[in-house]
Structure 1
Amino acid sequence: MSTDLKLGLNLGYWQRDADDATELVQAAERLGYESVWTAEAYGSDAFTPLAWYGARTSRIKLGTSVVQISARTPAATAMTAMTLDHLTGGRLLLGIGASGPQVVEGWYGRPFPKPLARTREYVEIMRKVWRREEPVTSDGEHYPLPYPGGANLGKPLKLITHPLRGEIPLYLGAEGPKNVALAAEIADGWLPLFVFPEKIERMYGPSLAGAGPDFDIAAMVMTLITDDVRAALDGVKMMLTLYIGGMGAKSRNFHADIIGRMGYAEAAEEIQALYLAGRRDEAFNAIPDELADGISLVGPVGRIRERLELWRKSPVSNLLVMGPRDEASLRTIRDLVLG
């Protein structure tokens, strides 16, 4: 149970020149938000916007939610993370994730199988890089170092630059129970995309059993302050329509799977079938209001205050709010969450 919640701002993907959230990030820093997070899929990367915002702030922590492990070798991610952490005075929170087969194989041209083994190996190598105790080697199946073959001239190397921190906080973006258990075992935190606070212990209790006392469950939560609850719920449903219906293959959609584990398996199957058939309005209408409401914080201040109690009673320790785009909204959410 997390009666004292931490608070962060999740900006999602950077899309275009006009999507410069510097003023919003600076406002979040002034208001006491602990962190700001950016994401990547197959558009903008996650690190570059954080470097931009990090150069314009001084205290707020900078999180990736998440960088995709197939996009970079573990050494490349470790180098980028070390550099950004150094330049921002030790403010980086590194969230990584395996993504899904459509992106991994269709965009990065890498094999998707064995994502848990790949993630474990990836993390081990990054930590060896940061600790800088000896030249980095790995006899793993997925990222062997030195590379066995090629010119046969590979040499174990040690990071030239001394890291500011030998241990950068590491989070895993995970949805399946085995992946969540891996996060609890090897990471400092977990970045769940959809959380139904009343159901998280039933869904993931055994997976989280190996987590330490400081393990941070940083949940991404759509948060909208408005008197028009109907419009706010429809906004959440639009997001769910895309993720359940189109963010994954018909035979393997991790987002649809998690909705199923929440108790909405039939709805998830119907939503995906309608979406893939091009009947997107019907897919939208098939999303239960109860589901959209359960994973979000929307409505008037009093309604959000009441629903926040469900999050305080859950294992979630950190709310990464998505949706607020002005300082007044950030202030109101700050007051509600942090008191």
Structure 2
Amino acid sequence: MKVGIAAGYWGSSPPRHVERMVDEAEALGVDSFWTAETYGSDALTPLAWWGARTTSIKLGTAVCQMSARTPTALAMAAQTVDHLSGGRMIVGIGASGPQVVEGWYGQPYPRPLERTREYVEIMRAVWAREKPVAYQGRHYQLPFAGGTGLGKPLKSIVHPLRSDIPVYLGAEGPKNVALAAEIADGWTPLWFSPKSDEFYRAALAEGFARDGARRSESDFEIANTCWLVEHDDVEKAAARLKPTVALYAGGMGAKGANFHNDVFARMGWGEVCSEIQELYLSGRPELAAQAVPTEMVEDVALVGPADKIIDEIVGKWKKTCLTTLILGGWPKPENRERILDAVMS
């Protein structure tokens, strides 16, 4: 298993000490560095800014929201970073949810799987640079079918460093996971739990079995962000993540349209998720966080003393379908090499 490190997306301001973390991660042989976006900081600018100080670590987005950019715009950005980094870019994309897509970007959300398929096809056509890009899909048309009528197919001025930049799909539901296995080079789960491994293996197998599937199980990457909080007291470590779990399980989206809630419900936390969502949507996020059991946090994160974290990496996480464990937290200096070795050995 490979190991990655995540800077994620920002809160109210840029996270501190990322520069030092990236320097240390590259020196210790960490495979990849990842950024993210919601509706504040974007994923690409920090990736380029912090990635500029590196020479070997892969640079990935987990994820860029598709509605934030047209497929050609993201293809341009990806090939630009790929050139500047010497071929280290991984383009992680995701459909996000209706709350963000329609509320923040002002774009329609329906038929996200179909839209994802079109998006990826257009990006790959840009990078292949075999001919001017023309595409007529349900969601994207190149040239635009309307307007002045003066649009014409165009071919990228830039010759991509790689004509086939890796694309990973962010996915949580079984249909989207199967789509990732069918059309992408990798999958970036969110809130993956080792107890759900069999469920996800079945969804991936369905995608690999489809006609024209791009990859097989043997050459498909699965890179999951796993939050890590070290503390001698497990309860105190878990408490730091409970507000985040409550936000995703309870506050992201509307009742009946929260994909993160569905993920936790599949783990067996359905009744708890209903309570968390009820509290969060009624304006009581603090109580929602208090309703998150420590065991629910432990299902999806590494919390507690270093020895416990290492035991769980070896005993649970390395036995799953994951190929990269992206740590959403930089281990303490005294435990860093032991934790990284537990993943990589």
Q: The TM-score by the shorter chain falls in which range?
A: over 0.9
Deviations 1:23-42 (A, max 9, x none): 11011000110000000111
Deviations 1:234-281 (A, max 9, x none): 122221011111111223111111111111111111110011112333
Residues 286-305 of structure 1 aligned to structure 2 (within 5 Å): 286-305=291-310
Residues 277-316 of structure 1 aligned to structure 2 (within 5 Å): 277-308=282-313, 309-316=315-322
Q: Which moved more, 1:46-55 or 1:10-19?
A: 10-19
Secondary structure of residue in 1 paired with 2:256: coil
1:149 aligns with 2:155: no
Preserved CA contact (<8 Å) 2:246 2:292: yes
Partner of 2:2: 6
Secondary structure of residue in 2 paired with 1:94: strand
Preserved CA contact (<8 Å) 1:28 1:330: no
Deviation at 1:59, TM superposition (A): 0.6
- Give the Cα separation in 1 of the matches to 2:69 and 2:16: 25
Partner of 2:180: 183
Preserved CA contact (<8 Å) 2:174 2:203: yes
Partner of 1:321: 327
RMSD: 1.5
> TM-score under structure 2 normalisation?
0.93
Q: Which moved more, 1:291-300 or 1:18-27?
A: 18-27
Residues 109-120 of structure 1 aligned to structure 2 (within 5 Å): 109-120=106-117
Partner of 2:237: 232
Partner of 1:162: 159
1:268 aligns with 2:273: yes
Preserved CA contact (<8 Å) 2:306 2:335: no
1:126 aligns with 2:123: yes
Residues 33-44 of structure 1 aligned to structure 2 (within 5 Å): 33-44=30-41
Preserved CA contact (<8 Å) 2:36 2:64: yes
Which amino acid in 1 is paired with 2:204? L
Deviations 1:182-215 (A, max 9, x none): 00101111111111112221x2232110341111
- The counterpart of 2:46, out of the listed 49, 61, 78, is 49
Preserved CA contact (<8 Å) 1:94 1:168: yes
- Give the Cα separation in 2 of the matches to 1:275 and 1:217: 31
In the alignment, structure 1 segments of 5+ residues that lack a partner are: none
Preserved CA contact (<8 Å) 1:24 1:325: no
Preserved CA contact (<8 Å) 2:78 2:89: yes
- Give the Cα separation in 2 of the matches to 1:251 and 1:175: 15
- Give the Cα separation in 1 of the matches to 2:124 and 2:15: 36
- Give the Cα separation in 2 of the matches to 1:162 and 1:93: 18
Preserved CA contact (<8 Å) 2:310 2:339: no
Which amino acid in 1 is paired with 2:173? G
1:22 aligns with 2:28: no
Which amino acid in 2 is paired with 1:52? W
Secondary structure of residue in 2 paired with 1:32: coil
Preserved CA contact (<8 Å) 1:14 1:38: no
Which amino acid in 2 is paired with 1:51? A
- Give the Cα separation in 2 of the matches to 1:193 and 1:320: 11
Deviation at 1:328, TM superposition (A): 4.6
- Give the Cα separation in 1 of the matches to 2:162 and 2:203: 29
Change in CA separation of 1:219 and 1:17 when aligned onto 2, cut-off 3 Å: closer
- Give the Cα separation in 2 of the matches to 1:150 and 1:326: 56
Change in CA separation of 1:294 and 1:76 when aligned onto 2, cut-off 3 Å: same
Preserved CA contact (<8 Å) 1:35 1:60: yes
Deviation at 1:17, TM superposition (A): 5.0
In the alignment, structure 2 segments of 5+ residues that lack a partner are: 209-215
Secondary structure of residue in 1 paired with 2:203: coil
- Give the Cα separation in 2 of the matches to 1:195 and 1:17: 26
Deviations 1:287-317 (A, max 9, x none): 2222111111122222112211211111111
- Give the Cα separation in 1 of the matches to 2:26 and 2:41: 23
Number of aligned positions between the proteins: 334
- Give the Cα separation in 2 of the matches to 1:148 and 1:53: 39
Secondary structure of residue in 1 paired with 2:90: strand
- Give the Cα separation in 2 of the matches to 1:10 and 1:283: 26
> TM-score under structure 1 normalisation?
0.95
Preserved CA contact (<8 Å) 2:318 2:343: no
Partner of 2:211: none
